[in-house]
Amino acid sequence: MAMAAKANTVLVILALAVAVAAARPAAAGAFRRVYAFGDSFTDTGNTRSTTGPYSFGYVSSPPYGATFFHRSTNRYSDGRLVVDFLAEELSLPSFLPPYLSSSSSGNSSSSNHDVVGVNFAVAGSTAIEHDFFARNNLSFDITPQSIMTQLAWFDAHLRRAKANKINVADALFWVGEIGANDYAYTVVARDTIPPKLVRDMAVQRVTTFVQNNWLDLGLTWMNNGTLMLDLGYKNVTLQGLLERGAKYLIVQGLPLTGCLPLAMTLARPEDRDNVSCVASVNRQSYAHNRRLLAGLHQLRQRHPGAVIAYADYYAAHLAVMRSPSKYGFAEPFRTCCGSGGGAYNFDLFATCGSPEVTTACAQPAKYVNWDGVHMTEAMYKVVAGMFFQGGDDYCRPAFSDLLAMKAKGKP
């Protein structure tokens, strides 16, 4: 009897395992290549200390990379990013090499051979082109590359890799969060460049990047010192990812930028929301994401032959901030690699990797934030789990559905 009961138990467990495996399409082998774009949340090495954004120009120094790589790989974290966990989820043979490095730090393949894809993301990158900031005297120490620069790099890469006969339609395109820098760079000019204008321009650039035409936003100075936005189509001068044959895309929204120690330190103490973060900044990110969602909805209607998923970073981040202990975090607000002590342990003039900050906290996995702006590997791992195993709560359509469609050669 005991033997029979034990055998039945084993059979039930095996049946459940088979059912679970059948319910979730295998990610391994679904995509052989991934092309990534974005800013420092996605950059795996295109930026170094000498080219990094102001106050975060020490990414090549320890303790960056200490948790996983045990050295700096020019990632703005102590280890892997969401895009790295994506590579692992897909069982790619290596992480994505950065475009500007033929043999990237922490990556084993060459971008010239395009074995697993390429990462074009750049720390400090903007959605709006650099010329806009220069014209408005906001170009001091701003990364000159925008998302359209990354698109030009992608074109150059495809030209060089033409002999490899890369099938763009068979690749996964990851458009990481981008736009937060646009708001940060214009915060000192809100009287003349309001957040709504930045939001309209930034989201338009992202959807143009994804789609197939370039909308030139004409900006005209008015007598009252404000800018008038002129939405007018001009001749197509840049072609987007869909025009280049991309069929499977995941576009990531902005996180709770008001929960970053940098924002918490600079904002007025009374400007707080129900998760104790900067209310005005989180409202800005929320509005940005709603506008982005509307743009993606339009793209889906215009391109029914493509799968365009939305990775809801805002919702994922919010879930963690509401119940940090549920996800293993004891420090939702304090910076792991920072200085100054206090509630946030963040000093804009003594940031991670600088001569003043050469060590990090003892347990990075207990911290949400790494250096005041960027997340710890532990947080990126949690967010990646939400995106890739969380059904359609945090990725819509669900990542598993995207894999199923890819397996069937649909939509």
Catalytic residues: 40, 371, 374
Please list the residues that pair with 311 across neighbouring strands: 252, 395
Partners of 218 in the beta sheet?
230
Q: Which DSSP symbol is given to 48?
A: -
Report the SS3 class of residue 86.
helix
Query: Which residue spans within 189-325 are E strands per DSSP?
Result: 215-221, 227-233, 248-252, 307-311
Q: Vertex 185, ends 182 and 190: CA angle to 5°?
A: 95
What secondary structure does DSSP assign to 103-171, as a single string? S-TT--S-TTTTSSEEE---TT-BSS-HHHHHHTT--TT--S-BHHHHHHHHHHHHHHTGGGT--GGGS
- Closest Cα to residue 183, out of 295, 54, 285? 285
Angstrom distance (rounded) from CA 26 to CA 96:
20
| 3-class state of residue 406 by DSSP | helix
Q: How far is CA 405 from CA 189, 245, 397, in A?
A: 45, 17, 10
CA dihedral 282, 286, 291, 296 (to 10 degrees): 120
